[in-house]
Each structure stands twice: as structure tokens, then as C-alpha cells.
Amino acid sequence: MNMNKNIKDFKNISFLVKVIVRGLFFFIFPAAYSSAFSGAKYAVSRISSGEPIELNPFVMILIGLLAFTILFGRYFCGFACAFGTYGDVLYEISVRVRKKFKKKPFAFSIESGLWLKYGKYICAVALLALCYFGKESIIGKISPWTVFSRLEALSLPDKGNIIGVFIFLALSILMLFEKRFFCRFLCPMGAIFAIMPVFPPSQLGRNRSRCFGKCKQCINVCPANITITDTTCDENGEADIPEIPIQLGDSSMGECFACGKCVESCPANNIKSVTILKEYKGLMWIVIKGAVLAVLLYFLMF
Ligand code: SF4
Ligand code: SF4
């Protein structure tokens, strides 16, 4: 009874902490993701014109977020990106509505997710190619991010961005039905983050031999349906951090949003990471990483 109460209390506190962290990033740094992508677009345009890349604020934000991602994984996507938070809120609403009406949740199969995730790399290459060939203005006319930024600032989207409005609406509908639809399958900035190597202590690993039977709890709760990389055991039977930092398979850590849901939900406490820990230490890490990222973005953006 007492244990159940402790678990319930922890879940409530964890939910509250995550809502506060995400809410603060949403309202204080709503443009961080679009600024970082502007840095990438600018860099590609300069490469195409043969001019040196200056360290303007957009490039600095891009460099700052990439460095942060190498150190801590995609915490930015997991907790700090305004568009990612918007998608998660939509999905959460749809889950609750479907529960109320006793409707089964819709979800792509894990196999289709494995293929669809390459969509974001195609998007990134296509958009950066437009910049390379001097057609960057097209992006402004079709960008759902621009529409979102305008709405977030409580302004109406530009009339010239009608295609962007349609894309934004289509994405919003898709994000209602599939968790992290945009982030996993279409986000060009997500594609750039996903190819970053992740510092080993921030990677996840599990010792499959210690799992409870055929338990798939970690895959089921994961917003990216990731199968955690199996690790080898050392002589004490302890799981090591995976030796291969990035795999293009299902366990690719580049696809991991560093949200910690798998670690929190594992009944065997079997998923290892130094910077995503279970229970209150895990929450503490979320707050510490959030504070580091907030300070970084504050100096880069203001
Ligand atoms: S994948 Fe893209 S939209 Fe999703 S959280 Fe990351 S930067 Fe934001
Ligand atoms: S549930 Fe685990 S593997 Fe999946 S995104 Fe979150 S931290 Fe990464």
C-alpha cells in the first residue's frame, strides 16, 4: 500500500517537473529550434557561394545545441523544443480523448517507423539543397515552423505562407495520431541532431538477460519505439554502456529523445545510463540538464 503510494507520488511529481521544464522552454525559448536550423541554412548558403561562414548568432545557437546534444543526447528534443512540446501536447490530448471513448490508439507499426524515420534525412537534405542552390526563399513559403512561430507569438501567419499553413495543419493532425510524428519522420533539425555522436555516459544500454521474460515495456513507452542496445556483461554481470555509439538500426541512440521514459518504466531497473537515472535522481538530472541548456540558450539568444 505504502509502496504504491510512493510510486504514485513519484509519478505525479515527475509529471509536474517535466511539465514545468517543458513549459519554461516553450515560453522562454520558443525560437531555439528554428534559429538553429537558420544557422544550418546560412552555413550551407555560404559554402555554396564560397564565402567564409561567420559566427553569427544563428550559427552559434546551432553549434551550442550540437555540442549540448553530443554531451547529453537529444535532451533538447525531449524537453526543450517548442515544436516537439506542441506535438506531445496534441498527442496527449488525443490519447485522453480516445481513452474516454474507449477507442484503441492508432500507431504505426515499429517496422514502418524504422523506414519512415529516414524521411527526416530526406527533408533535411532537400531543404539544405534549396539553400545550396540559392532557393532559400521557397522554404519561407512552405515552412510550418514559421506558421507555428507566428501563432505562438499570437499573430496570424503571413498570407504568402498559405502552403505552410496547410502543411502545419496536416502535421498537427498527424501528430494527434502518432507520437512524435514530426520529430521522428520529418524534422530536418531532428535529422541533424540524430547523426551526432553521443558521449557514452549519456547513451543507454540494457542487459537483456536480466529482463523479465519477454518484457517489452521500454519499447512500448518509448516515443520512438527504440529497442535499447543490448550490452555485454562484465565479470560481475554488470551491464556496460554500449560500445557502438550510433547504429542505424532500431537501437540507434541518435533517434533517442533522452526522455528517460524507458528507464523510469523498466520493472527490472535494467536500463543503464549515467545521465538518465531512475526516480528522484533522474528528475534531478532533468532539472540540471535543463538549467545548463537554459543558461547556454540565454547567452546565445539574448
Ligand atoms: S525533432 Fe525537431 S521538432 Fe522534434 S523536438 Fe527535435 S528539433 Fe524539435
Ligand atoms: S524512452 Fe528511452 S530510448 Fe526511448 S526516447 Fe526516451 S530515453 Fe530514448
Q: Whose CA is closest to 148, among 161, 131, 135?
A: 161
Contact indicator for 289, 86 with CB cutoff of 8 Å? no
DSSP H or E segment with residue 272: strand 271-272
CA of 91 to the centre of ligand 1 (A): 15
Is there a domain that residue 39 lies in? yes
Is there a domain that residue 50 lies in? yes
Is there a domain that residue 265 lies in? no
Is there a domain that residue 241 lies in? no
pLDDT in the model for residue 252: 56
CA of 292 to the centre of ligand 2 (A): 20
Residue 261 beta carbon below 6 angstroms from any ligand 2 atom: yes
Which ligand 2 atom is nearest residue 258's CA? 7
Residue 258 beta carbon below 6 angstroms from any ligand 2 atom: yes
For the stretch 17-26, what's the b/e string if a residue is b when 16 or more beta carbons lie within 10 angstroms of its beta carbon?
A: bbeebbeebb
**Range(s) of the domain holding residue 65:** 2-198+283-301
Which ligand 1 atom is nearest residue 80's CA? 5
Is there a domain that residue 96 lies in? yes
Q: Whose CA is closest to 25, among 63, 93, 77, 102?
A: 77
Is there a domain that residue 235 lies in? no
Residue 226 beta carbon below 6 angstroms from any ligand 2 atom: yes
Provide the H-helix boundaries in the chain.
Answer: 2-28, 32-49, 57-72, 75, 82-100, 110-116, 119-132, 136-142, 144-152, 162-177, 181-185, 188-194, 217-221, 261-265, 279-301
Residue 168 beta carbon below 6 angstroms from any ligand 1 atom: no
Per-residue pLDDT of the chain (302 residues; tens, 9 = 90+): 577 777 888 889 999 999 999 999 999 999 999 999 999 999 999 999 999 999 999 999 999 999 999 999 999 999 999 999 999 999 999 999 999 998 887 788 888 888 899 999 999 999 999 999 999 999 988 999 999 999 988 999 988 889 999 999 999 999 999 999 999 999 999 999 999 988 888 888 887 778 888 888 988 899 988 888 776 545 454 544 444 333 333 445 688 999 988 888 888 888 877 777 777 888 899 999 999 999 999 999 99
How many domains, in total, are found in the chain?
Answer: 1
Torsion angles phi and psi, residue 158, rounded to 5: -60, 145
Is there a domain that residue 245 lies in? no
Is there a domain that residue 268 lies in? no
CA of 78 to the centre of ligand 2 (A): 9
Residue 283 beta carbon below 6 angstroms from any ligand 2 atom: no
CA of 131 to the centre of ligand 2 (A): 32
pLDDT in the model for residue 232: 54
The DSSP secondary structure of 46-86, one letter per residue, reads HHHHTPPPP--HHHHHHHHHHHHHHHH-THIIIII-HHHHH
Residue 204 beta carbon below 6 angstroms from any ligand 2 atom: yes
pLDDT in the model for residue 1: 59
Residue 76 beta carbon below 6 angstroms from any ligand 2 atom: no
pLDDT in the model for residue 251: 45
